[in-house]
Amino acid sequence: MTTPKDQVTETFKHGHTAFMPYFTLGYPDYRTSLEIIQSCAEAGADLMELGMPFSDPLADGPTIQNSTQVALENGMDTKKCLHAVSDLRKRGITIPLMLMGYYNPVLAYGEERFVEKAAESGANGFIIPDLPPEEGASFEDHCRHNELALSYLLAPTSTEARMKLVSKRASGFVYLVSLTGVTGARLELPTYLQDFVTLVRRHVTHPLAIGFGISTPEQAQEVGKLVEGVIVGSKLINIARDSDDPAMACGQFVSDMTAALKHNS
């Protein structure tokens, strides 16, 4: 039987670059966020990164920070985020769902309880930006016990020793941060990306997915030639904010992005 963790890894082996949109749970409200995520899944997203709102999102730029603040004001908390995963599964969404959040709320909720409840709700794994592998042993143990993935992050500033450690400790895929900064749509991609990916591949055997700064089908197509997965967040939040029909607009964006990535295959 395929485990939730294995489902994540297998998604990067479908013959095209996988597309993983990020969206904040509870933005602009609970119901609309689920409708947007469902629309993204139906439009061809291969995985979804579900943002768990936190008051101090260190890795996120102003767009996602604002969305998390709105979600917090709407009453979103860890329990409601886990409930959202269950609700998405009830809506018929079958693609892998990765919960992205910061460690403080997880610690407050209880590591073991959080991972067990996530597994029960139908999550496939986690992205915890401020949990380094040097401090992740107990969380990794809970993930292994529940057969969930844990994706660690690597940045252009990461040492080769850190790359080796992440390769040893991560599961599902490795998240490559394309920029030395916070999330947010950019007009141009950094010129060092290819060298960065080449260096990481010397030490990491997991599928690689790049996020931070990608906002157009052309950028996704360019990055998709280098790695197994592309992640986009801020652009999707902007589309939802500016549209009269956020679910439809976000679905159309995902359709355009997945078409560009499949063109690479």
The pLDDT tens digits for 229-245 are 999 988 999 999 999 99
CA distance 102 to 178: 19
Domain annotation covers residue 130: yes
Domain annotation covers residue 68: yes
Query: Quick one: pLDDT at residue 60?
Result: 60
Ranges of beta strands (E only) in 61-207 are: 97-100, 125-127, 149-151, 153-154, 174-177
Query: Quick one: pLDDT at residue 235?
Result: 92
Model's pTM, two decimal places?
A: 0.94
Query: Which residues carry out catalysis?
Result: 49, 60
> At 176, is the pLDDT very low, low, confident or very high (cuts 50, 70, 90)?
very high
Provide the mean pLDDT of the chain.
Answer: 92
Q: What contacts 90, CB < 8 A, 6 or more positions away? A: none
Domain annotation covers residue 5: no
Query: Which of 53-62, 115-124, 142-151, 209-218 comes out lowest in average pLDDT?
Result: 53-62
Is residue 32 within 8 Å of residue 241, measured between CB atoms? Answer: no
Is residue 227 within 8 Å of residue 246, measured between CB atoms? Answer: no
> At 67, is the pLDDT very low, low, confident or very high (cuts 50, 70, 90)?
very high
Domain annotation covers residue 172: yes
| Whether the predicted pLDDT of 180 surpasses 80 | no
Q: How many domains, in total, are found in the chain?
A: 1
Average pLDDT rounded to a whole number, residues 28-51: 98
- Pairing type for strands 174-177 and 153-154 reads parallel
Domain annotation covers residue 53: yes
| Whether the predicted pLDDT of 181 surpasses 50 | no
CA distance 16 to 121: 28
Query: Quick one: pLDDT at residue 104?
Result: 94
Domain annotation covers residue 7: no
Return the structure tokens found at 241: 């904010």
> At 187, is the pLDDT very low, low, confident or very high (cuts 50, 70, 90)?
very low
Domain annotation covers residue 10: no
| Whether the predicted pLDDT of 210 surpasses 90 | yes
- The more confidently predicted of residues 61 and 141 is 141
Taking alpha carbons only, the member of 140, 109, 101 closest to residue 22 is 101
CA distance 261 to 222: 9
CATH of the domain at 123: 3.20.20.70
Structural domain of residue 56, as residue ranges?
17-259
Query: Which of 57-71, 103-117, 122-136, 200-214 comes out lowest in average pLDDT?
Result: 57-71
Provide the 3-class DSSP secondary structure of residue 76. Answer: coil
Q: Is the C-alpha dihedral spanning 8, 11, 12, 13 positive or negative? A: positive
Query: Quick one: pLDDT at residue 63?
Result: 83
DSSP-derived letter for residue 227 is S
Domain annotation covers residue 1: no
Average pLDDT rounded to a whole number, residues 177-201: 70
